[in-house]
């Protein structure tokens, strides 16, 4: 694993795949904390639990199923559209527009995709607030994945089949190392996006993700990283 990219290392890449939450928009925006609070509230109301207990259920589902939503569907037959609409009813102004990131993404050669465990509406609103939405060819969301989230291999298979992605000419950017295991195995360049100065503003002990064997590069500044590899 190295933290210093070079244009030569990415010269072959023509498929650029980006996670959304805490990847395209920065961790320090703390946007996901709003979603997290909404999910706790949803579980509390659904199961008639105090918030503290609801949060433990929420995090248990996250650990076991990859997303809270998947756990709620499997155990409580929740309507995914209702869940996604309610938990993404948040204030997107917390995200600051990022012209430098937009210019860097625009300048990348080839196709660009957002690949998220959230839904398309959330991705569109966040990317629009960042000022980068128009630079992407498409968004592959959890609905397109059949509600099976990353890191399930079948979800990556659906994504690459739908868009005919050549993994040997692809790079993937993620804030969770475990979501880079399959891309790395498929031959993609892998980049882990970490919080600015490696100091998270919002995290929980059970969300720590420390297995980095599948990570080629690490950055805490996505715009700067992309600019450095454009050459």
* CATH architecture type of domain 7-27+94-230: 3-Layer(aba) Sandwich (3.40)
pTM summary value: 0.89
Q: Report d(CA 111, CA 212) in Å as an integer.
A: 26
Report the alpha-carbon distance of residue 29 to residue 159 in Å, rounded: 28
Tokens of 189: 């360049």
Q: Judge contact between 90 and 38, C-beta under 8 A.
A: yes
Q: Which fold has domain 32-87?
A: DNA polymerase; domain 1 (1.10.150)
Instruction: Please tell me the distance from the alpha carbon of residue 110 to that of residue 120, in angstroms, as a whole number.
Output: 22
Q: Are 182 and 115 in contact (CB under 8 A)?
A: no
pLDDT for res 5: 84
Domain residue extents for the chain: 7-27+94-230, 32-87
* Three-state SS at 172: strand
Strand, coil or helix: 153: helix
Q: Give residue 4's pLDDT.
A: 74
- Output the tens digit of pLDDT for each of the chain's 231 residues: 455 788 999 999 999 999 999 999 988 899 989 999 999 999 999 999 999 999 999 999 988 988 899 999 999 999 999 999 999 999 999 999 999 999 999 999 999 999 999 999 999 999 999 999 999 999 999 999 999 999 999 999 999 999 999 999 999 999 999 999 999 999 999 999 998 866 544 444 334 555 567 899 999 999 999 999 986
């Amino acid at each position: 694993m190295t933290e210093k990219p070079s244009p030569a290392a990415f010269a072959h890449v023509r498929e650029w795949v980006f996670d959304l939450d805490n990847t395209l928009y920065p961790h320090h925006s703390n946007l996901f904390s709003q979603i997290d609070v909404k999910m706790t509230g949803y579980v509390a109301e659904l199961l008639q639990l105090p918030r503290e207990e609801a949060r433990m259920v929420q995090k248990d589902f996250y650990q076991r199923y990859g997303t809270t939503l998947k756990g709620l569907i499997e155990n409580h037959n929740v309507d995914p559209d209702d869940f996604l609409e309610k938990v993404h009813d948040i204030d997107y102004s917390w995200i600051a527009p990022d012209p430098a990131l937009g210019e860097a993404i625009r300048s990348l050669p080839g196709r660009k995709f957002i690949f998220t465990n959230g839904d398309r509406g959330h991705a569109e609103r966040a990317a629009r607030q960042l000022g980068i939405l128009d630079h992407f060819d498409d968004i592959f969301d959890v609905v397109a994945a059949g509600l099976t989230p990353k890191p399930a291999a079948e979800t990556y298979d659906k994504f690459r089949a739908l868009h005919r992605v050549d993994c040997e000419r692809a790079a993937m950017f993620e804030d969770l190392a475990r979501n880079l295991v399959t891309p790395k195995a498929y031959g993609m360049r892998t980049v882990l996006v970490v919080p600015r100065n490696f100091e998270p503003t919002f995290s929980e002990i059970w969300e720590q993700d420390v297995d980095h064997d599948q990570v080629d590069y690490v950055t805490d500044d996505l715009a700067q990283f992309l600019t450095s590899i454009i050459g």
